[in-house]
Amino acid sequence: MKANTLRITEIFYSLQGESRTLGLPTVFVRLTGCPLRCVYCDTEYAFHGGERRELDDILAEVAQYSPRYICVTGGEPLAQPECLSLLTALCDAGYEVSLETSGALPIEKVDARVSRVMDLKTPASGEMHRNLMDNIPFLTDHDQVKFVLCNREDYDWARFQLDSYQLNKRAGEVLFSPSFGQLSATDLANWIVTDNLPVRFQMQLHKILWNDAAGH
């Protein structure tokens, strides 16, 4: 692979559908490729293909939108080594940058200015064994930890991780999200309230607004 190039599936401007910047206009840079195969994945089209692009070319396209917020997503962005250079370049350009990552690859070399939105994969995801728990000590209050929950067993597992690792004290946000079409959002909301959990309930706004169409 040529230095300073990345394989890109798409770059688009939309509303952030998740995380602490929910609802804010954001440019998404979707990198191609992912070593995981979560059962609820909604971006399988990013597993393969894409276009090899120069870093400067990516930055120029992003700048056309005059954005404030940038989200680097995938796939699994960190599967491409040059992702680290992209994140730093976006921060240097003055954007507020977030990274959506599966939690299966090391995060410690990510630029400290980036808000790392790190998944912890639950039992029902089919990829729990890929969780790299060594990432947890590197979390800061600038970061976010996300659980996508498929059922009550996932919820109970996530509660245990929350308590065992004191995630709400390590990261700025802990996000509990119902897997779209698998877990009732109302049920999850009620469980969180009943148990008085220190987490943020979230739903995927882009699926509510655009029915998960690509480019949103």
**If DSSP states are collapsed to H, E and C, what string results for 170-213?**
HCCEEEEEECCCCCCHHHHHHHHHHHCCCCEECCCHHHHHHCCC
Residue 5, annotated as binding a ligand = no
Phi-psi category of residue 166: left, alpha or beta, with phi > 0 → left and psi -120 to 50 → alpha = left
Residue 16, annotated as binding a ligand = yes
For residue 1, is pLDDT > 50?
no
Residue 212 has phi, psi (to 5 degrees) of 65, 25
Residue 103, annotated as binding a ligand = no
Q: pTM of this prediction?
A: 0.92
Residue 9 has phi, psi (to 5 degrees) of -85, -45
Residue 40, annotated as binding a ligand = yes
> How far is it, in rounded angstroms, from Cα 28 to Cα 115?
14
Burial class (CB in 10 A: 0-12, 13-18, 19+), 211: exposed
Mean pLDDT over the full length of the chain: 93
Q: Assign 3 a pLDDT band (cuts: 50, 70, 90).
A: low
The CATH code belonging to domain 5-210 is: 3.20.20.70
| pLDDT in the model for residue 208 | 78
Enumerate the domain spans of the chain: 5-210
Residue 34, annotated as binding a ligand = yes
| pLDDT in the model for residue 169 | 96
Q: What is the pLDDT of residues 98-139, one digit of tens each?
A: 999 999 999 999 999 999 999 999 999 999 999 999 999 999
